[in-house]
Structure 1
Amino acid sequence: MTTPLRVEDAAPVTTTEQAQDRVADLVGHAISRQLWFMLLDACGRQIPLLIPVDDIPLRPKPGGAADMAAAVVRLLSEHGPGGSVILTLERPGTAALTAPDRAWARELVESFGKVVRITGMFVAHDEGVCELPATVADAVAD
């Protein structure tokens, strides 16, 4: 049996691969549809605050994540100046990226990318966690 992860004791997260491992440890596979925010300080140490947001729509409204991005920036300015965020879309289904995933990628990049550094963006699905590359945000979402 593995010891539960205490983010206070965990190694810093500075790469996309490390961020994906952290998401796998803390979020795991999908149970419901929600967004997760993990905040990192300027050195990549995770702030011991894991933020789930439930009741999210299948597709975001354009600009709909801007308020969440502003809240994350406020938290980072207080608890981790110069830090970054790991963004995770949890949704049941396969690892194959869907049109709604691409719409979320576009919204997250547009809302968060303008105000804070994104260390990684992921989808937690039925079988685990995969990267949600920012490049899919440029793809046609329909």
Structure 2
Amino acid sequence: MSDSPVLDSPEAIDAHLTTAIERWERGRRGVRFVLCDGEDRVRIHCPVDDLPPRPDPADCAQAIEIFASALAERAGNGSMLVVLTRSGSSAVSDPDRVWFHAAYQVCGRVGVRLLGVHLVTPADQRRILLDDAL
């Protein structure tokens, strides 16, 4: 997979998400874990669809921990990008905030570098920043 994209900048992440997530996927309520190696090279996308509209923080943390722990065991120094997909605007919502906080808490505890939490809607995509999640 030497031709896999390297997610080493915000521009690289935006370009990858633009091409990797199909238009029909952008409006589905889901989360996608993009698992990368130690050089931030994309290895696999793991999409989870049909999420509840009001996620439970413990359920979010458990889902993230499954992928983060597997990545920590296999790749050691790998990294992960968490991508939320849903319909509507790209304004950060309460469920987005739940995923954001869970991702940072779990990845910090497990020791996986988090490349960020991004929101992808049918019309837009953006990185969720700490100011958005407060």
Give TM-score scaled by structure 2 length.
0.82
Q: Letter of the 2:16 partner, please give it.
A: R
Report percent identity of matched pairs: 26
Q: Within 2, Cα distance between the matches of 1:75 and 1:11?
A: 21
Pick closer, same or farther for the CA change 1:23–1:114 going to 2, 3 Å. Answer: farther
| Aligned partner of residue 103 in structure 1, secondary structure | helix
| Aligned partner of residue 59 in structure 2, secondary structure | coil
Decide which of 97, 114, 130 is 1:134's aligned counterpart.
Answer: 130
Decide which of 78, 81, 84 is 1:86's aligned counterpart.
Answer: 81
Give 1:46 shift: 1.0
| Aligned partner of residue 87 in structure 1, secondary structure | strand
Pick closer, same or farther for the CA change 1:107–1:77 going to 2, 3 Å. Answer: closer
Moved over 3 A (4+): none
Quick check: 1:118 aligned with 2:117? no
Q: Which has the higher helix share?
A: 2
CA RMSD of aligned residues (A): 2.1
Q: Of the two structures, which has the highest relative contact order with CA contacts closer than 8 Å and spacing of 6 or more? A: 1
Q: Within 1, Cα distance between the matches of 2:70 and 2:32?
A: 15
Q: Letter of the 2:132 partner, please give it.
A: V
Residues 33, 47 of structure 2: 8 Å contact kept: yes
Gap regions ≥5 residues in structure 2: none
Gap regions ≥5 residues in structure 1: 1-6
Pick closer, same or farther for the CA change 1:77–1:109 going to 2, 3 Å. Answer: closer
Give TM-score scaled by structure 1 length.
0.78
Pick closer, same or farther for the CA change 1:67–1:102 going to 2, 3 Å. Answer: closer
